[in-house]
Structure 1
Amino acid sequence: MNNNIVTKLQSGLGKALTYFILLSCLAILVLYLVQRFGTQYAEDKIQEQLNQSGLAPFVHYESIHLDPFTLTPSLENVSFGNENSPWLRFARISLNSYPIKYPDLNVDFWIQKSPIDSLSRETRGLMRAAGVDTLLGKGSFTSKVEGENVSSHFKLDIKDLGKLDLTSKINLLDNSIVMSDLRSDVLASFALGQPEALPIIYGDAIELHSLDVRYEESGLISHLFPPSVILQDSPENQLNRLENICQALGLAPADSEEAEHIAETLLAFLKQPKKLSLTLSPSSAISLKELALLASEGMLYKDSKMTLSND
């Protein structure tokens, strides 16, 4: 009797082990197929978007890796611009949750440690001005679409320079706008140094509901405006210079209360750089075209309900 029980146990354990091995092999095969064909699908889609946006000549990557568990594709060793001397090099760009939640977007990226001589002339110039000889950082971008409303959040942390945190809410007035095209146009306009093109292209199609920009200093401002330079001129002259800059940027007339407030806030920040916050919260959503008009009239700060604070 005991021998029969032992035999049945051995037989049962043998079958269980066999099933476990078969299921494990099947799971491995499924993961392999998901990764192989998923990677190809992701690469085709990414390349399609790059081609449609006209960014294909500027974006180069070594490979695409797909996590079979989260279906997250990642571009490995990415460069923007000329392949030999790019504007930026990224160790990895992960498109979290793509394509399950499209058109929502959730991207993490890591700027590859890049010596100044490995980057483009334009980037080298910016790095020298910022006082760094090696670029290293990380960031993220999330964007959620709900009907005509789009909420976005961008974070950037550059070693020895600073941290930038930007949150925006916009309304799309044109139902024909494709989010992938809009994002590509925004990226292309900044990549080509032409952000002023956005109000021309989308002036009547996009309304800005709110904007919140926060900067935390970790070296950039201290290098650009060292105390020795700040103390060379009188506070009165510095305030006058900053007020004239406000007028030139279309924020406020140089002799206005708004320009005075902006100048005093900026000067306090330059003397003791820690954090600076800019918010734009108009009483009702305002189009990009209207914002450009306010800037041309020198009334952007007041009429868009903009506030600047030195936290």
Structure 2
Amino acid sequence: MLFASLCKHCYLSMDFKLDNIGNKLKNGLGKAITYFILLSCMAVLVIYAVQRFGGDYAEQKIQEQLELSGLAPFVHYESVHLDPFTLTPSLENVSFGNEYSPWLRFARISLNSYPINYPDLDVDFWIQESPIDSLSRDTRRLMRAAGIETLLGKGSFTSKVEGNKVSSSFKLDIKDIGKLAWASDISLLNKNIAMDNLRSDVLASFALGQPEALPIIYGDAIEVHSLEVEYEESGLIAHLVPKSTITLDSRENQLNGIKYASQALGLAPANSEEAEHIANTLLTFLQKPEKLNLTLSPTSAISLKEIALMVNEGKLYKDSKMELSNK
């Protein structure tokens, strides 16, 4: 009897302790769930606040820069989105040029820094799939020349300013056309030059097909330390220069044609070693279009005005230490 009574007492005591432990676990679990829900709600509120107020701030800064650069009338966008995790502001559904018949349509342009660290830029962009009839007359003309009916692509642009030196790189990949990569290192000799004005002038000069305007505007104000351009073919050259066209003429005639074109462009005299090298390199590329590289690496920095003079004298290739290759 005594043993049975002790066992019963131990069982009841153990059962009571287990109940207490169970209740504590339930209470602890309940508190943990409550805290988790509260923290989740706070996180959602923080994310919403970052997106709402951060997005408003980013749009304000973007609009300010568009106004300062004079590009506001040409850049139209639907909204500004801010990624709350990477703090990357993006312009959504952007058109550049005339709002109804733009030069280009972008699905998104992302500025990979926040707050916007102007004048440094780090931009990714995606060209919206655009049928030929939805774009401007100038763009339609270029698309027809390239043999495409729909424009689609992506790219990036980075530019870093340190004192009077500016390092920039640009990459563009257009479907059924090719990949273009460009990098440059320049110095600004005039402290009064604003980067927004320079970038808008460069953009406008190429958009209007007048790059020769840059040496006139900035001839003595910009020095070039290096320049590198690379093109990788994926359809453009095959359309512009079909193999059947190349085989119609002799190699000698083709080489002579390229030599005289080099002279006309101010690169090198037609009877020079430089023109011979340019002709052989270009003809090899046209016969088997894969990659083409152009580098400019002068012994010392040269101004845009000096480059223009080299072109006028027909010695740009040699005097600027230019190199054309298929590598």
Aligned to 1:130: 146
Q: What is residue 311 of structure 2 aligned with on the other side?
A: 295
> 2-side partners of 1:297 and 1:127: how far apart?
34
| CA deviation profile, 1:205-224 (whole Å, cap 9, x unmatched) | 22111111111111111111
Tell me if structure 1 keeps the 8 A contact 2:58–2:116.
no
Q: Is the 8 A contact 2:147 2:236 kept in 1?
A: yes
Larger Cα-atom Rg: 2
Pick aligned residue for 2:115 from 76, 94, 99 = 99
Q: CA deviation at 1:277?
A: 0.7
Match of 1:5 in 2: 21
TM-fit CA distance, 1:191? 2.1
- The aligned counterpart of 1:157 is 173
Paired residue for 1:81? Answer: 97
Describe the shift of the 1:106–1:231 C-alpha distance in structure 2 as closer, same or farther (beyond 3 A): same
Change (3 A) 1:175 1:9: farther
**Match 1:190 to one of 206, 230, 245:** 206
Shift of 1:100: 5.0
| Contact kept? 1:239, 1:264, Cα under 8 Å | yes
Report how many residues are paired.
Answer: 311
Unaligned 5+ runs, structure 1: none
Q: Quick check: 1:49 aligned with 2:65?
A: yes
Query: What letter matches 2:31 in structure 1?
Result: K
| In 1, Cα distance between equivalents of 2:20 and 2:224 | 78
With 201-210 and 181-190 compared, the bigger mean Cα shift is at: 181-190
Letter of the 2:288 partner, please give it.
Answer: Q
Decide whether the 8 Å contact of 1:55 with 1:188 is kept in 2.
no
Give the AA of the match of 2:177.
Answer: L
Matched, 1:38 2:54: yes
Deviates more, 1:130-139 or 1:52-61: 52-61
Q: CA separation in 2, counterparts of 1:89 and 1:35?
A: 25
Q: Secondary structure at the match of 1:152?
A: strand
Of 168-177 and 245-254, more deviation after overlay is shown by 168-177
Match of 2:250 in 1: 234
Q: Take 1:176 and 1:34, find their aligned partners in 2: how far apart are those partners?
A: 36
Q: What secondary structure sits across from 1:84 in the alignment?
A: coil
SS at match of 1:123: helix
**In structure 2, what residue type is equivalent to 1:305?**
K
Conservation of the 8 A alpha-carbon contact between 2:61 and 2:116:
no
Residue 256 (1) aligns with residue 272 (2): yes
- Which of 205, 214, 225 aligns to 1:209? It is 225
1:188-237 superposed Cα distances (whole Å, 9 cap, x missing partner): 22223222222222222221111111111111111111122122222222
Residue of structure 2 equivalent to 1:269: 285
Q: Which residue of 1 aligns with 2:182?
A: 166
Aligned residues: CA RMSD: 1.7
- CA deviation map 1:88-137 (0-9, x unaligned): 11111111123354432211111111111111111111111111111111
Provide the C-alpha distance between the structure 1 equivalents of 2:37 and 2:195, rounded to a whole number of angstroms.
46
2: CA distance between counterparts of 1:46 and 1:261? 46
Mapped partners of 1:201, 1:29: distance in 2: 51
Alignment partner, residue 8 of structure 2: none
Contact 1:282–1:303 at 8 Å: present in 2 too?
yes
Q: SS of the counterpart of 1:111?
A: strand
Q: Which runs of 5+ in 2 are unaligned?
A: 1-16
Aligned-pair identity (%): 77
What CA distance in whole angstroms lies between the structure 1 residues aligned with 2:216 and 2:29? Answer: 72
User: Residue 158 of structure 1: CA displacement?
Assistant: 0.9
